[in-house]
Amino acid sequence: MKTEVTKLLKEMLRYLKTRKNLSDKGYLKKAHDEIDGSSGVFSLVVKLANWLDPIELSLSDGDSKELKLRGNEGLDYGSSIKDMEAFFRNCPELNLVFRLEKEVVYFSPDLSEDEQIEIREFVKENRERNATNFYIPVKKQD
């Protein structure tokens, strides 16, 4: 996996754990500052991380080929889609892993099938999971 991809994934997974102490040199910093406070970016990172996570995909019967931003939960989808577009504008490194096309997120066409599998395995192995009231620890991240 490319170094930049690993760095982005680590930063996203760290952000899920704590939204504080973002590095000024981190990929998510600008998006965090620009998009409606930390909760806006947090929900977007959760959405993308859940799609990358094979465990989450299996629980929700998700589609591993695409993440549709428009669903049936009764949300304000226009706003949700605009937030995701702003996220991609303010964090162009997302394009290393993802491609946002209209209302759907796909893997970047620059990634091979093997790289996509490697990314999913990385997320599966490195994501801390909240099981009821405690965290399941994973190995230390750099």
Cα 120 → chain centroid: 11
Task: Please indicate, yes or no, if residue 71 is contained in any of the structural domains.
Answer: yes
Task: Please indicate, yes or no, if residue 40 is contained in any of the structural domains.
Answer: yes
97 DSSP 8-state letter: T
Count of the separate structural domains present in the chain = 1
Q: What would the pLDDT profile of 102-133 be if each residue is shown by its tens digit? A: 899 999 999 999 999 999 999 999 998 766 55
Task: Please indicate, yes or no, if residue 7 is contained in any of the structural domains.
Answer: yes
Residue 141: band (very low, low, confident or very high) from pLDDT cuts 50, 70, 90: low
Task: Please indicate, yes or no, if residue 140 is contained in any of the structural domains.
Answer: no
Q: Which domain holds residue 37?
A: 3-127
- In this model, does residue 74 exceed pLDDT 70? no
Task: Please indicate, yes or no, if residue 135 is contained in any of the structural domains.
Answer: no
Identify each DSSP E strand in 1-142 by its residue range. 67-68, 98-101, 104-107, 129-131, 134-136
Report the C-alpha gap between 118 and 42 in whole angstroms.
24
Task: Please indicate, yes or no, if residue 142 is contained in any of the structural domains.
Answer: no
Vertex 26, ends 46 and 85: CA angle to 5°? Answer: 50
State what percent of residues in the chain have pLDDT above 90: 49
* 8-17, 59-68, 75-84, 117-126: segment of lowest average pLDDT: 75-84
